[in-house]
């Protein structure tokens, strides 16, 4: 069982990183092989809305903007389950998470064949600050992405600086459970 954990924070010691560590430990405890990638360490630019709104994403299911997206996108079919963790910025995904999900959705959502996420368990995590403002809208955006790419929504979890103590334990347990389920 190959699991990809995608993080989208520039902060390598923050809440997103702590969530990634908990999810990794849980998946490994269940016997999974875990790969982690931090979108902020890659060069993945914004969707350029090529042509009149669609580029090669529509029919060829490939993005014509050449950067690190290509390699990451090509690798996704090799994974059986996914965890994506974004910090909550302005009640939304972080910029790097937004760029990745926008482009992945365009390449995957209109496929006649199975998408690279289709029927695979996917856990979406929103890591917020103390206020937790916009936690739900961030999760709602993630939920919409999962719907469009036909992933199996295993869980959607919100975590804040206040809930960190017990939610990291929950995330460990959820990740472990996801591997047994997959
Ligand atoms: C640009 C920016 C916008 C933010 N917006 C929100 C927000 O809307 N709601 C919230 O609860 N926290 C917000 N925060 C706080 C982060 O979500 C919080 O610090 C989170 O832990 C960041 O993840 P990290 O620890 O991985 O850096 C924001 C932080 C930044 C930098």
Domain boundaries, the chain: 2-181
Select from 89, 91, 92, 140 the residue to mutate for testing ligand 1; criterion: most ligand atoms less than 8 Å from CB: 89
Which residues are CB-neighbours of 155 under 8 A, at least 6 positions away? 123, 124, 174, 178
Ligand 1 near 46 CB (within 6 A): no
HSE at residue 179, side-chain half, CA atoms within 13 A, is: 22
More confident position, 49 or 182: 49
pLDDT 10s digits, 111-129: 999 999 999 999 999 999 9
pLDDT at 130 > cutoff 90: no
Pairing of strands 121-127, 152-159: parallel
pLDDT at 169 > cutoff 90: yes
| Residue in 8, 65, 83, 67 with CA at minimum distance from that of residue 39 | 8
pLDDT 10s digits, 29-76: 999 999 999 999 999 999 999 999 999 999 999 999 999 999 999 999
pLDDT 10s digits, 99-110: 999 999 999 999
Q: Mean per-residue pLDDT for 133-141?
A: 98
Ligand 1 near 10 CB (within 6 A): no
Ligand 1 near 55 CB (within 6 A): no
pLDDT at 11: 97
- Determine the distance separating the centroid of ligand 1 and the alpha carbon of 89, expressed in angstroms: 5
The CATH T-level fold of domain 2-181 is: Rossmann fold (3.40.50)
Pairing of strands 2-7, 152-159: unpaired
At 151, list the tokens.
């992933």
pTM for the predicted model, two decimal places: 0.98
Ligand 1: residue whose CA is nearest its atom 19:
129
Which residues are CB-neighbours of 57 under 8 A, at least 6 positions away? 50, 63, 64, 103, 106, 107
pLDDT at 182: 81
Atom of ligand 1 nearest to the CA of 88: 17
């Amino acid at each position: 069982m190959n699991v990809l954990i995608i993080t989208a924070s520039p902060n390598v010691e923050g809440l997103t990183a702590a969530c990634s560590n908990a999810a990794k430990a849980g998946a490994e405890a269940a016997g999974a092989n875990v790969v982690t990638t931090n979108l902020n360490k890659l060069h993945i630019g914004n969707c350029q809305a090529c042509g009149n709104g669609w580029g090669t994403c529509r029919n060829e299911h490939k993005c014509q903007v050449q950067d690190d997206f290509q390699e990451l996108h090509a690798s996704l079919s090799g994974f059986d389950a996914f965890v994506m963790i974004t910090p909550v910025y302005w009640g939304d995904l972080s910029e790097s998470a937004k760029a990745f999900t926008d482009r992945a959705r365009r390449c995957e959502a209109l496929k006649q064949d199975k998408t690279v996420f289709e029927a695979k368990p996917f856990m979406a995590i929103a890591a917020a600050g103390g206020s937790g403002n916009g936690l739900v809208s961030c999760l709602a955006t993630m939920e919409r992405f999962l719907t469009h790419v036909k992933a199996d929504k295993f869980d959607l979890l919100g975590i804040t600086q206040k809930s960190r103590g017990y939610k990291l334990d929950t995330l460990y347990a959820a990740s472990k459970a996801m591997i047994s389920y997959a």
